[in-house]
Structure 1
Amino acid sequence: MTAEPTAVVRPRNRKQLIVAAAGRVFSERGYHAASMEEIAAGVGITAAALYRHFPNKYALFAECADVMVDRLVAALDEVPADAALTDVLAAVTRVTVAHRASGGVYRWESRYLNREDRHALAAKFAHVVERVADVVRREHPLPDEHLRATAALGAIGSITTHHASIAQRRVEELLLACALRVVATDPTAAAGSAHLVELPTPPVPRTRRSEILAAAIPLFERDGFANVTNGRIAEAVGLVSSAIYRYFPGKADILAAACLQAAALLAQAVEQNLRGVDDPHDALVALTATYVAYSFEHTALTSVANAEIGGLPTALRQTLVIAQREHIAVWEQQLRSARPELDSRQARALVHAGFGVVVEAGRRLRWQDSPAHRDAVAAFLMAALGLCPLVAPGRAKARRLISAERKSHAVEPLA
């Protein structure tokens, strides 16, 4: 007797499985580079079955962008109103680490939401910041609790932006301790650090190729890479659309070339500001001041790079990834020398946490460049690394003298 074929039972949580898979794809590849077919394959269904749950890619994307913040709100709502700061941040950390692969959507891709959905998402995140800030104010009555809360959330959220392998329990403990240090940091603790370094002078666009790079980045930053056409870039430099192809094979090549030039600028800044610095703590002070200065002076480029590199073709992205890894390796080496108890994975996670602090604190400050803002962000970054942000007057003076001697150096354009 032939057995009857077993009926396929549709999982009751299929919609949740779709959102989880979509979150991973959107986080990894970006909104425009992701496809419904790729997301469906991640769930083990056809694209047609996917459309039974979501009418289009935007509807699925909006759901993914909301779900992580909704999880944070729900986790905080379960924490008693009078809970200690450690318990509040631990709840945020657990949720963020548990959904590491898909949790980055709301941080970078929310620019592609329509105005109404974007404002709703911002309101939810503001609620999370407010809840954390209330407890920070109570336990650490220092200036600007909202900025400190936002910086701490940036440290925790950094886990969604990289693939460094580290056990869940270990990374939760590491990020919680990191966030607690950040919220307990006085934003004025690194006063004067903004003046410790000088960045190389950016190259002046002297060729048509370099003019294209300089014109494209502000457009990408304002409207999103996918929404900017070659025609708009060409118009910005006085060319017809077809002329762009004489200088770049495609729009992705423009983005990759601009990011590579920025990486060279940062690498040169690091090299010149570390020259002659032997003490690991002093080196990390210099790295911090350099990275913060770079972030404030090249806001558009760093924002575009953070948001768009993941969607580049593999061949173009690989060179940029290598440059980023080399930069992080410099931090890791100095951090492990300053804190020998850290292993390489912990050190890398803390470096990424420091970068996350810079991003979120900078956003909170609307990237308004001033010595006070640079000092505050530098103090938070050093706290994230687990280091004292203060610089002895003698060392600070020495660093200023070194910087003054290098002030005339400029990076050579790649174009």
Structure 2
Amino acid sequence: MTARSRPRNRRAQLADAAAALFGKRGYHSVGVGDIAAAAGITASALYRHFQNKQDVLGHVLLTGVDELAERVHDAVSGLADDPQSRLAPLLLAAAEVSIERRELTALWRWQGRHLREADQKELRGRATTLLSAWLTGLRRLRPELSSGQAHLLCFAALSVFGSVGDHRATPRSGFAPLLAHLGEAVVRADLPTPAPRADEWRTRVAPTPSRREELLTAATRLFRERGFHAVSMDDIGAATGIAGPSVYRHFAGKSDLLLAASRRMADRLTLGLEDSLATATDPADALRRLARSYVDTVLRSDDLIAVYTTELANLPERDGRELRAMQRGYVAEWVRLLREVAPGLDEPAARVAVHAALTIVNDIPRTQRFTTRPGLADELSALADTVLRAAAEDR
């Protein structure tokens, strides 16, 4: 293709192709050649538009934030002056763009760690500008909220919209209105008063770990921070004060570390599920107990849950298939209970609500400003319950 006949939107085509591939395979499993081939050009032609793969990711995420800001600009701008009437249009617009750009929604949540530092800073700056207007409007809507509470509810609502990047469920009708309804329920949620016992999990004194346990903990943290492919056995050894080859005395390879971390998380979730079902008096009680169990498990397993939800594609095929089946089965139990509580709720809509609740619990502890909140466990449980009740009451 000659320069004269080259499409004017080639850069946008490449960005769209990259977003789809990054979302499907993960950043490290996609090469420049893959992106170029998906757009119908050669790898050398791609370099006329982008310096490298990291540059492509930066463009995708920054333009995505700009698109979101443009779509919700009018609603956000008027939120501070008239929060009652502008809230619903804002939530619906945010829901619509999140659904339309699902692959981008997933990238925002999980692939931003691979950006250059300058792009990360720029992304945070643009997102902060948008969030500031949103926070101002929420404080006008609910003046009784403290600054911390307003931030928590704003981020939780964003998690509701971001949850669509973690699943492919599509309700037969009213997907965006359902998502907006769940977001509004979060924004209007009553947060519980902090209880003295809420953060006991943070103050327990753990026994001295074995070398194997040290390695597993270090590897899980590094996988979360950098991604599986960006971590070497030497990195894992260095994090625990030993040489990389010494790690092999405890684990056969990096995949074995990932498998051990993933199975540990799966086992914790399974135990919580079994206990919730065994002690509940009815489906609604089981759902409440399950939500609390999930919160408690995530709060003591933050690195594990991040790895378990993002890195299974890097396991050997048989192990990955087994653990993905366990993930689906766990979510299916939530969906089953919710539909028993609300028989009129169809399965895709129930899945949307369950994933929204799970994503709030997954995301909030990853945000540094919230990690020291007293009573965070109670707040997360209340927010998850709010989302599930809102879905049940909407049908």
TM-score by length of 2: 0.85
Amino acid at match of 1:298: S
Q: CA deviation at 1:243?
A: 4.0
User: Would the alpha carbon gap of residues 312 and 366 (structure 1) be closer, same or farther in structure 2, given more than 3 Å must change?
Assistant: farther
Amino acid at match of 1:12: R
Equivalent in the alignment of 1:294: 297
User: Would the alpha carbon gap of residues 37 and 95 (structure 1) be closer, same or farther in structure 2, given more than 3 Å must change?
Assistant: same
Q: CA deviation at 1:343?
A: 1.0
Q: CA deviation at 1:158?
A: 0.5
Equivalent in the alignment of 1:33: 29
Q: CA deviation at 1:96?
A: 1.0
Match of 1:175 among 175, 179, 182: 179
Amino acid at match of 1:161: D
Deviates more, 1:342-351 or 1:42-51: 42-51
Equivalent in the alignment of 2:61: 65
Equivalent in the alignment of 2:223: 220
Q: What secondary structure, in the 3-state scheme, does the structure 1 residue paired with 2:111 have? A: helix
Amino acid at match of 2:158: L
Distance 2:391 2:261 in 1: 35
User: Would the alpha carbon gap of residues 312 and 164 (structure 1) be closer, same or farther in structure 2, given more than 3 Å must change?
Assistant: farther
The C-alpha deviation readout for 1:317-361, integer Å capped at 9, x for no partner, is 322211111110110111111111111111111111111222333
Distance 2:241 2:95 in 1: 49
Q: CA deviation at 1:42?
A: 2.0
The C-alpha deviation readout for 1:39-97, integer Å capped at 9, x for no partner, is 22222222222222112111101111212211111112233524510001111111111
Amino acid at match of 1:29: R
Amino acid at match of 2:151: H
Equivalent in the alignment of 1:283: 286
Amino acid at match of 1:341: G
Distance 2:364 2:150 in 1: 12
Distance 1:107 1:26 in 2: 12
Match of 2:263 among 253, 260, 264: 260
Contact 2:237 2:244 in 1 (8 A): yes
What are the within-5 Å matches in structure 2 for residues 6-405 of structure 1?
9-79=5-75, 81=78, 82=82, 84-143=86-145, 144-167=149-172, 170-188=174-192, 209-237=212-240, 239-245=242-248, 247-312=250-315, 314-364=317-367, 366=369, 368=371, 372-386=375-389
User: Would the alpha carbon gap of residues 370 and 74 (structure 1) be closer, same or farther in structure 2, given more than 3 Å must change?
Assistant: closer
The C-alpha deviation readout for 1:225-245, integer Å capped at 9, x for no partner, is 333220132344565423434
TM-score by length of 1: 0.82
Q: What secondary structure, in the 3-state scheme, does the structure 1 residue paired with 2:105 have? A: coil
Distance 1:274 1:246 in 2: 40
Contact 1:230 1:244 in 2 (8 A): yes
Distance 1:282 1:369 in 2: 28
* Structure 1, gaps ≥5 residues long: 1-6, 390-415
Distance 1:135 1:106 in 2: 23
Q: CA deviation at 1:23?
A: 0.9
User: Would the alpha carbon gap of residues 126 and 309 (structure 1) be closer, same or farther in structure 2, given more than 3 Å must change?
Assistant: farther
User: Would the alpha carbon gap of residues 285 and 123 (structure 1) be closer, same or farther in structure 2, given more than 3 Å must change?
Assistant: same
The structure with more helix, counted as a fraction of residues? 2
User: Would the alpha carbon gap of residues 298 and 258 (structure 1) be closer, same or farther in structure 2, given more than 3 Å must change?
Assistant: same
User: Would the alpha carbon gap of residues 206 and 151 (structure 1) be closer, same or farther in structure 2, given more than 3 Å must change?
Assistant: closer
Q: What secondary structure, in the 3-state scheme, does the structure 1 residue paired with 2:223 have? A: helix
The C-alpha deviation readout for 1:180-210, integer Å capped at 9, x for no partner, is 1000002227x66986x99xx9x98977654
Alignment: residue pair count: 379
Distance 2:196 2:154 in 1: 22
Equivalent in the alignment of 1:405: none
Contact 1:365 1:373 in 2 (8 A): no
* Structure 2, gaps ≥5 residues long: none
Distance 2:373 2:186 in 1: 20
Q: What secondary structure, in the 3-state scheme, does the structure 2 residue paired with 1:348 have? A: helix
Amino acid at match of 2:269: L
Q: CA RMSD in A?
A: 3.1
Amino acid at match of 2:35: I
Q: CA deviation at 1:291?
A: 1.0
Q: What secondary structure, in the 3-state scheme, does the structure 1 residue paired with 2:121 have? A: helix
Q: CA deviation at 1:310?
A: 4.3
User: Would the alpha carbon gap of residues 166 and 245 (structure 1) be closer, same or farther in structure 2, given more than 3 Å must change?
Assistant: farther
Distance 1:31 1:99 in 2: 17
Contact 2:265 2:308 in 1 (8 A): no
Q: Larger relative contact order (C-alpha < 8 A, sep ≥ 6)?
A: 1
User: Would the alpha carbon gap of residues 194 and 98 (structure 1) be closer, same or farther in structure 2, given more than 3 Å must change?
Assistant: farther
Distance 2:222 2:9 in 1: 41
